[in-house]
Structure 1
């Protein structure tokens, strides 16, 4: 099990390597998610900042050219609340945040909160069976 301190420096280093245009966008998204859902753990996977709940991937911050994507691993379930999202996978969806625009903090909050609530409900459902 990796120490939390190592993970924190890994996450800090990850931000340092982002392109200058994407860095503040990724930082704003990250800060908002951390403030909205306290119990997430984070690691770097496949070049993205992965945020997990109870060991299950929940969200990921994925920098792309001219934008930062917020990947929602339970996105298909979240759409019931948030309406259609981008993405064609069976479950994963994403919301794109263009680097040129200020981050829509309220959008990040609702996505993070909804995704976490769905995950908690599913976890509770599993725990009771």
Structure 2
């Protein structure tokens, strides 16, 4: 675990810190060889040097974005597309139920199996 990523997560609001910690653990469990680092001021997770996911804290949400997600469908109210659709993002608000298993499944589909 990267200390800069830990400081980023610990600096968020308590509910955001809890969500970020669960997302971080989910990423490591889903992609065991993943490396994490702070890039562009946000926690990035890399697999074999390529971006796999990003966690971003904003004032009223936590965003979880995956890369290489062209094949992941947009789901209204859950998964939105970014860029040319090659990145997908889920926004999590305070008090919202989070389906970490569904997020892990999306991440699994966008990363290279070990």
Scaled to the shorter chain, the TM-score interval is: 0.7 to 0.9
Counterpart pick for 1:101 among 86, 96, 102: 96
| Conservation of the 8 A alpha-carbon contact between 2:67 and 2:87 | yes
SS of the residue corresponding to residue 74 of structure 1 reads: coil
Aligned residue pairs total: 108
What's 2:31 paired with?
37
Q: Tell which deviates more after alignment, 106-115 or 50-59.
A: 106-115
User: Which structure's CA Rg is the greater one?
Assistant: 1
| Conservation of the 8 A alpha-carbon contact between 1:22 and 1:67 | yes
Counterpart pick for 2:54 among 51, 54, 60: 60
SS of the residue corresponding to residue 103 of structure 1 reads: coil
Distance 2:47 2:80 in 1: 22
What's 1:8 paired with?
2
Task: Give TM-score, length-normalised by structure 1.
Answer: 0.74
What's 1:70 paired with?
64
| Conservation of the 8 A alpha-carbon contact between 1:25 and 1:99 | no
SS of the residue corresponding to residue 76 of structure 1 reads: coil
CA RMSD of aligned residues (A): 1.8
| Conservation of the 8 A alpha-carbon contact between 1:21 and 1:66 | no
Distance 1:100 1:109 in 2: 20
SS of the residue corresponding to residue 110 of structure 1 reads: helix
What's 2:20 paired with?
26
